[in-house]
Amino acid sequence: MSAAKKLIINCGAGHVTASVFSERNNGLVLEGFAQQDLEYDLTDENGWLPAVLDAVRSVKSQVKGGDKASLIVPGYQLLTKLINVPHVDESKRAQIIAFEAQQKIPFPLNEVVWDHQVIADDGVETEVVVIAVKSDVINGFCTDMRKTGITPLDVEAASILDYNAYKVSYPGDEEDTLLINIGARSSNLLFINEQGFFIRNITLGGNTLTQNLADSLGKSFVDAEQIKIAFFSGQTSIDADDPSAQVLQTNAQNFQKKLSQEITRSIVNYRRQRSAAAPKRILLTGRGSLLPGLAEQLEQSQRMPVQFFDPISGIEVGNGVDAIYLEEHQHVLSEVVGEAARMTDPEAVSINLLPQQLADKMRFAKQKPFILIGAACLALATVPPILGQLQAKDTYSGQVKELKMPVQSLQSTHAEILELESKAKALKANIADLEGLVNSRSNWIAFFGDLQERLQAVQDVWLEDLKLDRAASGNLDLSGRLLIKNWDPENPTQSYDQAYQRVNQLLESFKASEFISDVKDQSFDDSNPRILKFDFSLVINPERPL
């Protein structure tokens, strides 16, 4: 595939699409597109991946995109968490996010593949979305995908890509907007304002209506899905007096009401957490948004304009794409356009869940040809010196015989010199140790005085343990405690954030000490509600040894 083109495969809960994009004049061009519905029992969790793989083989053959692709996985397969961390330098942000992520994700971090994206920062707090997936799930997904002939370049989370698509379709728009993507198994609610965005994923999608119809009609899930699609798409018509039509309409209305209630609850939660204004409009996308009457019902219940999101309005469509076919499927293109936006926008958001071991293999595969060429050149470079050495070997052999004659008499003298040199080095080391002890005696007194001043500056903090590891690292390991005097049981997060800031202030101040060159290996223990325990190591300045 040309470097200017990108193959994107969107593996949804009920469909798969393959799209090929290129870049032209800093804009996106859709060069190829194919879509296929998944054929499996949507209630069977184990049936999704085999159906996806069959569909991928089909759509891949319909577009000319090569074998390397960006993959998109649906939101229902992922664990999404929003966390708030103190605003710190980017160099320290990753460590704090990892600590908070471990508290939110119900699995050890070494058992999941996870990534994060900053979604808002007011200078005091940084809001971050963390998305994770079990390692065995995503490893199996990538392994099976490679069996179809596809090499994953990255694995993107679908729930975050709608934001990029919105920026492409509404460049410069600052109106507060709620973008709702209604999928088969879940719906993604994306609140967008000028400060950033807010995500909420709800387990309410097209399958919810199908299951209700199956229960009401006494049909299997597969049959109910066919009846739903045929009736609401207008493929079949049923008289209004028919009991089946009444069941279909009643269940559709119930689904619309339940979705509206979840949207209302999400808006309230969004405004409370972000202290933000309510959205001024709603944009709908996803296959579930095509339910007749849904837009009108939401417009009436939410009392704001409701429109359908057009993700292809901000891109160019190539000659090889059927415009009518594309328009029929534009409701499944928002995540695809959002992933393609990363080609032209370096600030586009991204959650990459590609397993690290696979990423390392791909990186090595790219470097392998250059490594082989370099190895070959290195091997050829040794040929001339080898030939020269062979020619000079005979000459040197005669000279060596002449030099060996006086060597034996000098070897015994050399052994005595080496023995005396070894003893001298041992004595020098002992003298250096004694000098170090003498010099460090006064340094300890001055160091403790300096340490006490910095502790008093922070207040309510003390050290419990101090250990100097001379033999190994030479670092000074310390343990301390910070008393959280202004503990607020109603808002423990804020109390801990303030405590973290005070401890970080203390640790930063240590770097200014003439005895310290760096502070490392910081760790925190907030198991006690009123006391924050912290451990750290001080790297001793070699010019002021202790």
Question: Could you report the per-residue pLDDT of 84-136, keeping only the tens digit for each?
Answer: 889 888 888 888 998 888 888 888 888 899 999 998 888 888 889 999 999 99
What is the reported pLDDT for 354? 92
pLDDT tens readout for residues 504-524? 888 888 888 888 888 888 898
What percent of the chain lies above the pLDDT cut of 90? 36
User: Rounded mean pLDDT of 319-348?
Assistant: 91
Q: How far is CA 264 from CA 60, 157, 205, 270, 375, in A?
A: 40, 25, 16, 10, 64
At residue 365, does pLDDT exceed 60?
no
CATH for 172-304, among 3.30.420.40, 1.20.140.10, 3.30.530.20, 1.20.120.550?
3.30.420.40
What is the reported pLDDT for 87? 87
What is the reported pLDDT for 502? 87
What is the reported pLDDT for 22? 93
What is the reported pLDDT for 400? 67
Helix (H) / strand (E) element for 536: namely: strand 531-540
- The amino acid occupying position 394 is D
Considering the chain, tell me which residue range(s) the CATH 3.30.420.40 domain(s) occupy.
Answer: 1-81+89-113+131-170+314-381, 172-304
Higher pLDDT, 143 or 442: 143
40-44, 117-121, 348-352: which has the minimum mean pLDDT? 40-44
CATH for 1-81+89-113+131-170+314-381, among 3.90.1150.170, 3.30.420.40, 3.60.15.10, 3.20.20.70?
3.30.420.40
- Please answer whether residues 207 and 347 qualify as being in contact, where contact means their C-beta atoms are separated by less than 8 angstroms: no
Nearest Cα neighbor of 466 from 457, 434, 455 is 455
Tell me the three state secondary structure of residue 523.
strand
At residue 243, does pLDDT exceed 90?
no
At residue 404, does pLDDT exceed 90?
no
What is the reported pLDDT for 178? 95
pLDDT tens readout for residues 471-499? 666 788 889 998 888 888 888 888 888 88
* The two three-digit tokens of residue 105, written as one number: 């994700």
166-170, 294-298, 359-363: which has the minimum mean pLDDT? 359-363
pLDDT tens readout for residues 124-181? 888 899 999 999 999 999 999 999 999 999 999 998 999 999 999 998 888 999 999 9
- Greatest alpha-carbon span in the chain: 120
At residue 385, does pLDDT exceed 70?
yes
> What's the rounded Cα separation, in Å, for the pair 80 and 82?
7
H helices of 309-355, where?
323-328, 334-340
Q: How far is CA 475 from CA 92, 230, 455, 517, in A?
A: 21, 73, 19, 10
CATH superfamily of this structure's domain 440-540: General secretion pathway protein M, EpsM (3.30.1360.100)
pLDDT tens readout for residues 183-239? 988 999 999 988 888 998 998 998 899 889 889 888 888 888 888 888 887 777 776
Which range, 7-21, 360-374, 435-449, has the best average confidence (pLDDT)?
7-21
At residue 20, does pLDDT exceed 90?
yes
At residue 43, does pLDDT exceed 90?
no
Location of structure tokens 């290996």: 521
User: Rounded mean pLDDT of 374-382?
Assistant: 68
pLDDT grade for 267, boundaries at 50, 70 and 90? very high
DSSP assignment of 346-414: TT----B---HHHHHHHHHHHHHHHHHHHHHHHHHHTHHHHHHHHHHHHHHHHHHHHHHHHHHHHHHHH
Location of structure tokens 């020098």: 428
What is the reported pLDDT for 57? 93
What is the reported pLDDT for 2? 45
Considering the chain, tell me which residue range(s) the CATH 3.30.1360.100 domain(s) occupy.
Answer: 440-540
DSSP assignment of 144-202: HHHHTT-EEEEEEEHHHHHHHHHHHHSTT--S-EEEEEE-SS-EEEEEEETTEEEEEEE
What is the reported pLDDT for 369? 64
Nearest Cα neighbor of 83 from 42, 127, 119, 53 is 127
Nearest Cα neighbor of 150 from 39, 74, 58 is 58
Mean of per-residue pLDDT scores for the chain:
85
Higher pLDDT, 172 or 311: 311
Q: What residues contact 523, with CB distance under 8 A and at least 6 apart?
A: 534, 535, 536
Q: What angle do CA 94, 97, 98 make, to 5 degrees?
A: 85
What is the reported pLDDT for 441? 67
